[in-house]
Amino acid sequence: MNDDAPRIHLGSLLRAPGDVSASGEVQELHYEQAGRPQTLRFAEPAPYGIDINSLDGNEFWLQGYFEPVLSQECSRCLKPVTVPLELNLGTLMQYRPAVPESFLEEAETGEELLVFGNPDLNLSNYLAEMTLLNSPLSVLHDPDCKGLCQVCGHDLNEGPCEHSAGVPIEDERPMGLGTQEGSQHARQNPFAALSGLKLPED
């Protein structure tokens, strides 16, 4: 159905140990989530490179990279933000002949295991899942984004509106109070959880 789907051919690996690789670019990925067809579109063609080599028996090791650029909205002001991801892939694979569509499951070791049954492996499900697992839940177009006025929806990055004019600017507060409120705010700020994620510098 999707001739442009990223694929890698594993027939030779199933006959004899070795390694195979595939690379290319994808503009979008068609995959299934809970049985429903989904499409993940990227802001620009996303390059990938995949190398798979034989381990013992019916197990294989997949490694490679995938560098999609996502289009998301600033969580505060809803401006479009592009989010480039650099994914380093490393996943154990297992061949089970009866499996029609590849899927990820948790192995006994706790590691993720990519199970496949078709030697002509469509990588769409895998790449989409890796992208979603590594996407930030929310992004800011600028760390100092002032957001939208909650009363009138005005973009406060463009200047104050009548509702924000009376609010004291944080920098003018006494230093002790400002620091205390600042740290408290940081703890409660839902975006603070993102600080551990690898985000683009610019």
- Interface residues with Zn ion (CB under 5 A) are 74, 76-77, 79, 141, 145, 149, 151-152, 154, 161, 163
Residue 152 Cβ, how far from Zn ion at the closest point, in Å? 3
Cα–Cα distance for residue pair 139/8, rounded to 1 Å: 33
Nearer to Zn ion, 142 or 170 (CB): 142
- Name 143's Cβ contacts closer than 8 Å, sequence gap at least 6: none
Residue 165 Cβ, how far from Zn ion at the closest point, in Å? 9
Residue 15 Cβ, how far from Zn ion at the closest point, in Å? 54
Q: Nearest Cα to 22, choosing from 8, 43, 5, 34? A: 8
Class of residue 151 by CB neighbours under 10 A (exposed 0-12, middle 13-18, buried 19+): exposed
Nearer to Zn ion, 72 or 135 (CB): 72
Q: Are strands 112-116 and 87-95 parallel, antiparallel or unpaired?
A: parallel
Alpha-carbon Rg for the chain, nearest whole angstrom, is 23
Cα–Cα distance for residue pair 124/2, rounded to 1 Å: 10
Nearer to Zn ion, 102 or 141 (CB): 141
Nearer to Zn ion, 166 or 176 (CB): 166
Nearer to Zn ion, 2 or 72 (CB): 72
Residue 48 Cβ, how far from Zn ion at the closest point, in Å? 30
Residue 131 Cβ, how far from Zn ion at the closest point, in Å? 23
State residue 71 phi and psi, 5-degree precision.
-105, 115
Alpha-carbon 163 to chain mean position: 37
Residue 148 Cβ, how far from Zn ion at the closest point, in Å? 8
Q: Nearest Cα to 13, choosing from 95, 107, 90? A: 95
Nearer to Zn ion, 99 or 193 (CB): 193
